[in-house]
Chains A and B, each alone.
Chain A
Amino acid sequence: MTQEALLEVRGLATHFFTGQGIVRAVDGIDLTVCRGETLALVGESGSGKSVASLSLLRLVEEPGRIVAGAVRFAGDDLLRLSEREMEAVRGAKIAMIFQEPMTALDPVQRVGDQIAEGLRVHEGLARRAARARAVELMARVGIPDPVRRARAYPHEMSGGMRQRVMIAAALSCDPDLIIADEPTTALDVTVQAQILSLLDDLKRESGAGVLLITHDLGVVAEVADRVSVIYGGQIVEDGPVEQIFRRPAHPYTQGLIACVPDVELPRQRGRALQSIAGSVPSPFDRPDGCRFRDRCPSAFARCTEEPVLVPIANGHSARCWLNVR
């Protein structure tokens, strides 16, 4: 199955130039998303997932700066576009869904107007026409009584409904790529499942590619086609979802999978969660060589050398010396 790549990120690096030093939040990552495919970007808190996704849209704020790499999308390198050209991509070709639907919606504007905003900016729709489209979009994402709800304010809606509003806004201009940064983390478990299956249905209908950011491997197992695992600003493993779950090649990925009580079954309660010992190293003093080595159960002498991403099987590679014979 060779598919047309929609998004190809190569060597993307985003650093924060802070008073205390340089934070290499994203340090040379490669990602590929194909049309109609869901790529899950997985990693612990602080591994650089959000910074990476914001970098794709060039929305990283001071003191952060994209220092290297290329983001090829629809024949362009997004990093070379002018700001004006980039604005034409945001929302129209690449849409983004944020983690916290409460804070990502403007509290003083009606949700219908926020959904319609992209249409007004990109397609120049008049207010009335845009509002009518907003109502259609709300119906499409399963918001009951959309005519009335379009006039509601965010605080008048539940978390799940707000996330549906964010999704409707993201869909408004029929984007080719949807970036969803932990879209279900802030929601109840039952609502999480609904939102995930909604995203999956919409992806199937529209044929858009999805970059799904999450730290939840249960979510990955349900919706992803391929997985990229990020640790300390680097991709440490990537491959098709079955491969990653069946034969994880990097000790970090193995640890993450061991943390999930039972990937095949819905999450069970009451079972002790295993977790990876230690925590993500501070970006100021990462170990040299392999960044995972001081938490790694199978670290050996060679790990003081910086490992490279090596292919293991078809479309599956990992950044670990254990895989190099």
Chain B
Amino acid sequence: MVKFLGRRLAASAFMIAIAATIVFFSVHLLPGDPVLILLGEQGAADAEVVARLRAQLNLDAPLYQQYLDWLGGLFSGDLGKSLQTGLPVAEEVLRRIPRSLELIVAGLAFAILLGIPMGVVAARRRAAPAGLAVSAVAVAGFSAPVFVTGILLVIVFSLWLGILPSSGYVAFGADPLGHLAAGLMPALTIGINFMGVVTRMTRASLTEVLRRDFVRAARARGLSHRAAIRRHALPNALVPVVAILGVRAGNLLGGTVIIESLFDWPGLSSLLVSACFARDYPMIQGALLAIFVLFAFISLVADLIQSFIDPRMRTGR
């Protein structure tokens, strides 16, 4: 297990290094000189201003030098300074990571806590009304685009019921309840979408596992159908569900771009969007990298959960 963990951590570190490289080159090799774009047409006319800014941004160094500087900076936790505010990028990114992470964790928790039992019901009563109803809810949940789900939630909870704020962010320290109220709808929007995925995956996987001999063997030992599902079928069925969740973490992060904008939630995705508009490329790099790190983290957790359930994962790789 320790060996597996070590290997898996090394793989994550490697993935992040590659991500850092891709982020750097994608931003630097994009057509268009960031300095000229930054200064606009009038500013660009003044050669001296251009040169000064270029030096300030370290853009006059050769590309490989810039790359090494960027990697070196990473190791010391320095992601450069924002072009807009002049403040360190790392600080801003670190402030926003927990905000995005809390939406994702809350959304996933909702999806898992509801999706797995729903998937079990759907698998056990495929043809019965309960199973069909659950499957319909699941399909609606994951096929509705997140902005539609989000807007529906706003209509119901803010406009009709008036119990939740339609958007905005309140710091937890300032007003814990207000913070939770503000975060509830964006987290639910993520959660409903993922609950559909979890339900469908659990249903498909459990349906397949229920046909396996060991479930019948467990029943032959005297376990009730329920106990055989709980103790044998479900753990086996969840391994691929967790794997898919880990892989789909990427979609999840993509979805947060829309959700954070919709609910005006100052997380990583909205940072990335605003940095793009402002052509604040150190900030773009920092936000992108942080999103990659989050992705690596989620898939690491998914892998660890899988290997915790399935012993073959620990030795097989």
Complex contact A121–B223 (CB within 8 A): yes
Cβ proximity bits A92-109 to B, threshold 8 Å, 1 near / 0 not: 100110101001111111
Which residues of A from 63 to 77 have beta carbons under 8 Å from B?
Answer: none
Does B317 sit within 8 A of A, measured CB to CB? no
Residues of A within 8 A of B309 (CB): 108
Complex contact B217–A107 (CB within 8 A): no
Complex contact B216–A59 (CB within 8 A): yes
Alpha-carbon gap, A88 to B213, bound state (A): 20
Does A90 sit within 8 A of B, measured CB to CB? yes
Residues of A within 8 A of B231 (CB): 109, 117
Alpha-carbon gap, A98 to B309, bound state (A): 25
Residues of A within 8 A of B216 (CB): 54, 59, 61, 98, 104
Residue of B223, B309, B315 contacting most chain A CB atoms (<10 Å): B223
Alpha-carbon gap, A104 to B212, bound state (A): 8
Of the candidates A61, A91, A106, A169, which one forms a contact with B236 in the assembled complex, judged by CB atoms under 8 Å apart? A106
Complex contact B213–A155 (CB within 8 A): no
Residues of B within 8 A of A83 (CB): 224
Does A118 sit within 8 A of B, measured CB to CB? yes
Does A225 sit within 8 A of B, measured CB to CB? no
Cβ proximity bits B204-226 to A, threshold 8 Å, 1 near / 0 not: 00000000111011111111100
Alpha-carbon gap, A173 to B220, bound state (A): 12
Alpha-carbon gap, A108 to B224, bound state (A): 19
Does A216 sit within 8 A of B, measured CB to CB? no
Complex contact B213–A87 (CB within 8 A): no
Does A245 sit within 8 A of B, measured CB to CB? no
Complex contact B219–A90 (CB within 8 A): yes
Of the candidates B213, B222, B311, which one forms a contact with A118 in the assembled complex, judged by CB atoms under 8 Å apart? B222
Which residues of B from 284 to 317 have beta carbons under 8 Å from A?
Answer: 309-312, 315
Does B232 sit within 8 A of A, measured CB to CB? yes
Alpha-carbon gap, A87 to B223, bound state (A): 7
Evaluate whether A108 and B310 lie within 8 angstroms (CB atoms) in the complex, with A91-B222, A121-B223, A122-B222 already known: yes
Of the candidates A54, A61, A108, A121, which one forms a contact with B221 in the assembled complex, judged by CB atoms under 8 Å apart? A121
Which residues of A from 121 to 167 have beta carbons under 8 Å from B?
Answer: 121-122, 153, 155-156, 166
Number of interface residues, chain A, beta carbon within 8 A:
32
Does A57 sit within 8 A of B, measured CB to CB? yes
Does B178 sit within 8 A of A, measured CB to CB? no
Which residues of B from 184 to 218 have beta carbons under 8 Å from A?
Answer: 212-214, 216-218
Complex contact B220–A106 (CB within 8 A): no
Complex contact B222–A92 (CB within 8 A): yes
Cβ proximity bits B141-174 to A, threshold 8 Å, 1 near / 0 not: 0000000000000000000000000000000000
Complex contact B214–A104 (CB within 8 A): yes
Complex contact A103–B311 (CB within 8 A): no
B4 → A minimal CB distance (Å): 14
Alpha-carbon gap, A54 to B310, bound state (A): 29
Does B249 sit within 8 A of A, measured CB to CB? no
Residues of A within 8 A of B217 (CB): 96, 98, 104-105, 166
Alpha-carbon gap, A108 to B239, bound state (A): 10
Residues of A within 8 A of B266 (CB): none
Evaluate whether A108 and B220 lie within 8 angstroms (CB atoms) in the complex, with A98-B213, A100-B213, A103-B212 already known: no
Does B235 sit within 8 A of A, measured CB to CB? yes
B109 → A minimal CB distance (Å): 23
Q: Which residue of B lies closest to A58 (CB)?
A: B219
Of the candidates B220, B222, B311, which one forms a contact with A153 in the assembled complex, judged by CB atoms under 8 Å apart? B311
Of the candidates B223, B311, B315, which one forms a contact with A117 in the assembled complex, judged by CB atoms under 8 Å apart? B223
Residues of A within 8 A of B219 (CB): 59, 90
- Sort A-B residue pairs by CB-CB distance and give the 3 closest, nearest first: A91-B222, A91-B221, A103-B213
Given A95-B220, A103-B214, A118-B221, 7 other A-B residues pairs in contact with their CB atoms under 8 A: A83-B224, A87-B224, A98-B213, A104-B214, A109-B235, A117-B221, A153-B312
11 residue pairs from A and B, CB less than 8 Å apart: A61-B216, A90-B219, A90-B220, A91-B221, A91-B223, A92-B222, A103-B212, A104-B217, A106-B218, A117-B223, A173-B222
A residues with CB within 8 A of B: 54, 57, 59, 61, 83, 87-92, 95-96, 98, 100, 103-109, 117-118, 121-122, 153, 155-156, 166, 169, 173
